[in-house]
Amino acid sequence: MPYIFPSDFMADPSVHVFGHRLFIYPSHDRDAGIPENDNGDHFDMVDYHVLSTDDIEAVMRGEASLCDHGVALSVGDIPWAGRQLWDCDVQQGPDGRYYLYFPLKDRNDIFRFGVAIADRPEGPFIPQPAPMLGSYSIDVAVFRDDDGQYYFYFGGIWGGQLQRYRDNKALESAYLPSGSEPALPSRVARLRDDMLEFAEAPRPVIIVGDDGQPLRADDPHRFFEASWMHKYNGTYYFSYSTGDSHLLCYATGDNPYGPFRFRGVLLTPVVGWTTHHSIVCFRGRWYLFYHDSVPSGGRTWLRSLKVAELTYNPDGTIVTIDGGAKE
């Protein structure tokens, strides 16, 4: 699969179509000289760029380049900033403006979500003075449903701190389920009409197997991070990364809250530890955007953007894409 932005290390692409252009909102990797660890301290990103194109097929063939609109938001712009500006997502609100949602550690090293606003999809984005009330963890995806409601999906384990919370309250000691216990789920909350806060308490996003029971903590297909939501032929597709089993998986349901039934693997392991993605329809064709670490020699904190066309079977299942990692 082609690399679509070889001139810099970017990852975690959130992709949307605004007007007649496809916009990519990635995180921006850099070599900060920090030793790699399970908390992700080596992912010390400090800004976001916005990329766009009106012809992704030409980009995939190497006949055109993505437009880099430059820095859209930096850690230094954010009043409550600590460190680590990880993955983000953007949606156009009912007022026509564009809302960028980002996770960032505050000065107590706790991940919160912030909001920044722009008049154009490429920014620049102006951050709100404080994080969203009641927000925690990482990996945001904001889905606009057909009725105009917006749903905010989030959560990531280990460095993403999701294991530090239960029922939206911080725990005295983090707890991560194991063995046959139900896996730790991601979260979803509908957004307020002003797009700035949750309209309700976040709910768990439950993924069940064919037996109707939640996936277990020892299931290699359980949720770990990187939520995404899209809709195809009236069905809601919740997709996600399994983290340490290195898969992208998906589950389907009949509403934005779930429960979602596990359906299969979207992408087999890539070179590099993380897999983070988005799915979008552009000009009648469906695409999976993701990243791997091949150009950096497998260094997991220096990742590069990729894209593959997505194919649906007649029964609504998705044809698995080979991520390229060898056993």
Q: Which residues are catalytic?
A: 12, 225
Euclidean distance between CA atoms 118 and 287, whole angstroms = 26
Q: Compute the distance between CA of residue 176 and CA of residue 222 in angstroms, rounded to an integer.
A: 13
Distances 153 to 177, 204, 220, 227 between C-alpha atoms, Å:
21, 10, 21, 6
Amino acid at 48: Y
The DSSP bridge pattern shows strands 83-85 and 98-105 to be antiparallel
Q: Which helix (H) or strand (E) holds 207?
A: strand 207-208
Determine the longest span between alpha carbons in the chain, in angstroms: 54
DSSP sequence for 208-257: E-TTSSBPBTT-TTS--EEEEEEEETTEEEEEEE-GGG--EEEEEESSTT
22-41 as b/e, with b when 16 or more CB fall inside 10 Å?
bbbbbbbbeeeeeeeeeebe
Q: Please tell me the distance from the alpha carbon of residue 96 to that of residue 78, in angstroms, as a whole number.
A: 23
Nearest Cα residue to 287 out of 72, 130, 56: 56
What is the Cα–Cα distance from 32 to 204, expressed in whole angstroms? 34
Q: Would you state the structure tokens that stand for residue 104, as one six-digit string?
A: 């960032």
Compute the Cα dihedral for 4, 19, 313, 254 and give only its sign: positive
Side chain identity at 284, as an amino acid letter?
Answer: G
Rounded Cα distance, 324 and 48, in Å: 27
SS3 174: coil
